A = this chain, B = another copy of it.
Amino acid sequence: MKYIDGGVCAAQGFKAAGLHCGVKSHNTDKKDVALIVSDCDCTASAVYTKNVVKAAPLHVTKAHLRNGVARAIIANSGNANACAPNGEESAEKMCGFVADALGIPAENVIVASTGVIGQTINTSVIEAGVPELVKLLDCSRSQDAADAIMTTDTVRKEAAVELEIGGKTVRIGGISKGSGMIHPNMGTMLCFITTDAAISAPMIKAALLETVKVTFNRISVDGDTSTNDMCAVMANGLAGNAEITEQNEDYSIFVNALADLCRTLARRMAADGEGAKHLITCTVSGADSVEKAETIAKSVISSTLTKAAIFGSDANWGRVLCAMGYSGAEFDPETVDVSFKSQAGEIQVCKAGRGLDFDEDQAKKILTEPEIEILITLKEGNSECTCWGCDITYEYIRINGDYRT
């Protein structure tokens, strides 16, 4: 498996486009609507936020994907179409515009939105833009689509991989957005994945669920879980591999590549958390179950105090132990080792639950690097888990103190 260019258009038969339609009126030139289309029908699946309050496009997409078939994705930024009057009607309209322009059933269109909650989305500007978007569709325009779904993101997120399944070259590519409200169980993140693999609807669904659990659900920016999160995948089969219809070796190869791709996108989202200066990777090993290791690692990357300490390049491992302690996981504090690691080196700061005398200058040096690892070892077993987060900064407060207006 290798990483290649092309993003969401890397797989055969996929085209994309992004355009400024004016969804958010006073943001005058940012691309705000993305369109992704396959040359032929795809098996498709999506996962959605676990928030009780779900945005209208999620309900519409869920209904459209009931038969496991899709052909296109339309997604906008600037308005979440959540808790807004006539939300489902608006989301259905967006699918209708695409269906009309492409001559496909509206039921084969996936729709997603991200942005401000509670305001009516202006569908007329989207209606006006869709024909232009269809004209722009091209296999070189993954970046435009990636740009169109960005909100407070500072970095475009796209990635693609190439692998071989049964002697055939298969590609999987994706774009994603998400920098605030990211939390395990999906925060306002959108991720659209395309592949030319031939894989049945039940298998693409299983592969997506399995992948999301160990990638996007292991990142956190601020503990808030959005109303709009969605990760959708479409597989058009053009790679010509023998269709994957059961959890055989081909399936495993496919899932491993999909997970690698999603892990890359997840890490980029965490690193681009609103205002973040540091990507924080927390690995808990020596646990007696993966679940426990995950509970502890998530608690550490979600701890506001730990995030503030990393922002200050402060080796305040006490906050790490504290966050472990309130995670809900049972463990013996007297067995915990903690180290900090980065490109500048590694330093152990806690052994068997007690502080070590360590070189503060060296610790500071390690913690000023952009990517910080927090390594936690228990003495219970052989299970481990890694989760990703970011620090909390002045910039986070600035962005979120006045995001809506």
Contact = CB atoms under 8 A, between A and B. Distances in A.
Contacts of A227: 318, 321-322, 325
A397 B402 contact: no
Interface in A297-328: 302-305, 308-309, 311-312, 314-319, 321-327
Interface stretch (A197-205, A207-215, A256-264, A347-355): A347-355
Contacts of A223: 223, 302-304
Nearest to A310: B401
B226 A322 contact: yes
A317 B116 CA distance: 10
Interface in A346-373: 350, 353-355, 360
B396 A308 contact: yes
B401 A326 contact: no
A227 B52 CA distance: 32
Interface stretch (A14-22, A39-47, A76-84): A76-84
B355 A118 contact: yes
A402 B312 contact: yes
Contact of A394 (B183, B225, B325, B394): B394
Contacts of A405: 314, 360
Contact of A324 (B53, B325, B329, B392): B53
Contacts of A116: 318
A315 B85 CA distance: 18
Identical subunits present = 2
B118 A354 contact: yes
A354 B400 CA distance: 22
Nearest to A119: B355
A222 interface: yes
A140 interface: no
B83 A311 contact: no
24 contacts: A51-B326, A52-B325, A52-B327, A52-B329, A53-B321, A80-B318, A82-B318, A85-B354, A85-B355, A118-B350, A119-B355, A222-B305, A223-B303, A224-B322, A225-B322, A226-B322, A304-B392, A308-B400, A312-B402, A314-B403, A315-B404, A318-B404, A360-B405, A394-B397
Residue among A52, A80, A185, A405 with most chain B CB within 10 A: A52
Residue among A50, A82, A322 with most chain B CB within 10 A: A322
Interface of A: 50-54, 80, 82-85, 116-119, 180-181, 183, 185, 222-227, 302-305, 308-309, 311-312, 314-319, 321-327, 329-331, 333, 350, 353-355, 360, 392-394, 396-398, 400-405
Contacts of A396: 308, 397
A400 B304 CA distance: 9
Given A116-B318, A394-B394, A405-B314, A333 B180 contact: no
Contacts of A305: 180-181, 222, 224, 400
A397 B397 CA distance: 9
Given A225-B322, A304-B392, A318-B404, 19 more contacts: A50-B326, A52-B326, A52-B333, A53-B322, A83-B333, A85-B355, A117-B317, A117-B319, A117-B322, A118-B350, A181-B305, A222-B304, A224-B303, A224-B305, A226-B322, A304-B304, A308-B397, A309-B400, A315-B404
Residue among A314, A329, A355, A401 with most chain B CB within 10 A: A401
A137 B361 CA distance: 43
Residue among A83, A116, A225, A316 with most chain B CB within 10 A: A83
B83 A318 contact: yes
